[in-house]
Amino acid sequence: MAIPKTIMAEKDQLKDTNACGLIAIAIATNKTFGEVHAIFKRIGRRNKQGVTTWQMKKVLHILGFKIEELDKWKGKTCTTLTLPRKDNYIALTSGHALAVKFGLVKDWTDGRRHRIQQVWKIVAR
Is residue 98 within 8 A of residue 107, CB to CB? The reply is yes
CATH of residue 43's domain is: 3.90.70
0.75 surpassed by pTM: yes
pLDDT value, residue 115: 87
Task: Please provide residue 110's backbone torsions phi and psi, each rounded to the nearest 5 degrees.
Answer: -55, 125
Q: What total number of domains does the chain contain?
A: 1
The helix (run of H) or strand (run of E) holding residue 70 is strand 65-70
Q: pLDDT tens across 75-122, in order?
A: 688 777 788 888 999 999 988 999 999 888 888 766 677 888 899 999
Q: Which domain holds residue 118?
A: 5-124
Q: What is the mean pLDDT of the chain?
A: 89
